Amino acid sequence: MDRPVRLIFAVSCFLCIAAGCRNKNVSEQQDPIVLGYSQLGDESSWRTQNTFSIKSAAKRSGIKILFEDAMQNPANQIKALRSFIAYKVDVIAFSPLVETGWDTVLEEAKAAGIPVILVDRMIETSDDSLYTAALCSDFALEGRRAGEFLVRKFAGRTTPVNIVELAGTAFSTPAIGRSEGFREVLSAHPKFVICFSEDGDFMQSKGREIMQKVLKLYRSDEIDVLYSHNDDMTFGVIEVMKEAGLAPGKDIVIISVDATQRSIDYLREGTINCVIECNPNSGQQVMELATRIVSGENVPKRTYIQETTFDEFGDLDSIANRGY
C-alpha cells in the first residue's frame, strides 16, 4: 500500500470506529427497559383492568414487558420470576398471590442484581431488601371504611347486627387487610356479630356457591349484612339472592369492594349499599417506578394508591364513569 492509500485507509478505519462507538452509545441510551411482569391470574374484572393498565402503560412508556399470567398458582409465579432472572431483565414487578413463600426466589433476583417491585399485594419477609419498592392499596383502610359505613348505617340499632363475610383468597394481602380493618372498627361496637366468614377466592362462581350455602344455613331474616371482599363475588351473591326472591340492598345490606362500573350501577339502583374503591389503574405508576429504579434513583419503599368510598349517603350522580 503506498502512502496516500495507507492514509485514506487509516482515516476510514478511525471514522468507522468513531461512528461505531457513537452508535453504540446512542443505541445503549435507546434500548428500552425490559420489565418482567408476573401477574397472579385473571380471577376478577378488577384483575382484567389491572392487566390492561399495566400493559398499556408499558407500551406508552416505551418499556418492553415480558408478561406472564400465573393462573392463581404461586408455583407459576416463581417459575416466571426465575425465567426473568435467566433472561437478565432490567427490573421485575409482580403481584404476589399470597404473602409467604417468596424469599428464595427474591434472593436469587437480588444476587443477580435485578430490582423487584411489588404491585398490588405485599409479601411477608424478614428481609425488606428483597424488594426495592411496593405500590399497593391500603387494604386495612379499605376494611376500616367498610366497618365505618356499617357503624353509620346501623347507628340507631341496639339489637345484634349479623354479618356474613365473603373473604378474598386466603393468606393474600387484600383478604388479610380487609378482614382486619373491618374487625378493628367493629370491635368497638359489640352489637356487630360476624356470624359466618368464608374464602371465596375473589371469584363470582364461588360467591354464588357460598351464598347458596349461607341461605341453607340461615334464614334470610337472620342475616343483616353481607360484606364481600370484591365485586365479582358480590355479583354471584346478588344472583343467588334474586333467585331466592330476596331484594339485595334492602333485605340484606351489601358492602362490596373494587368499584367496577357494574357495582356503581348497583349502588345507584339500591342493590348495593356501599362500595369501597380498590384502584386497579396502577400501570403508569409502575412504569414510573421501574424507570426511576433502573436509572439509579432512590424511590419510596412503599406507595399507596389513592382510593375512596362510594355509599348510599353520598352524591351518586357525581361518580365519574369507571371505564371498566
Is 174 a binding residue for ligand AHR by CB under 6 A? The answer is yes
Say if residues 273 and 254 touch (Cβ distance below 8 Å).
yes
Residue 202 as a binder of ligand AHR (CB under 6 A): the answer is: yes
**Least distance from C-beta 203 to ligand AHR, angstroms?**
8
Q: Are 105 and 84 in contact (CB under 8 A)?
A: no
The x, y and z cell numbers of residue 233, run together, are 363475588
Closest to ligand AHR by CB, 161 vs 280, is 280
Do 208 and 236 touch, CB atoms closer than 8 A? Answer: yes
| Residue 121 near ligand AHR by CB under 6 A | yes
Q: Is residue 54 near ligand AHR by the rule CB under 6 A?
A: no
Nearest alpha-carbon partner for 174 in 220, 249, 222, 233: 233
Residue 248 interacts with ligand AHR (CB under 6 A)? Answer: no
Location of C-alpha cell 414487578: 93
Selected from 257, 274, 276, 290, the binder of ligand AHR by CB under 6 A is: 257
Length of the chain as a residue count: 324
Asked if 322 is part of the footprint of ligand AHR (rule: CB under 6 A), the reply reads: no
For residue 278, state whether it binds ligand AHR (rule: CB under 6 A).
yes
| 3-state helix/strand/coil string of 46-104 | HHHHHHHHHHHHHHHHCCEEEEEECCCCHHHHHHHHHHHHHHCCCEEEECCCCCCCCHH
46 near ligand AHR, rule: CB under 6 A: yes
Nearer to ligand AHR, 114 or 147 (CB): 147
Which residue among 36, 39, 43, 289 contacts ligand AHR (CB under 6 A)? 43
Torsion of CA 20, 26, 29, 34, to 10 degrees: -60
Which among 43-51, 78-86, 97-105, 182-190 is the span making contact with ligand AHR, rule CB under 6 A?
A: 43-51
Chain contacts with ligand AHR (rule: CB under 6 A): 43-44, 46-47, 120-121, 174, 202, 230, 257-258, 278
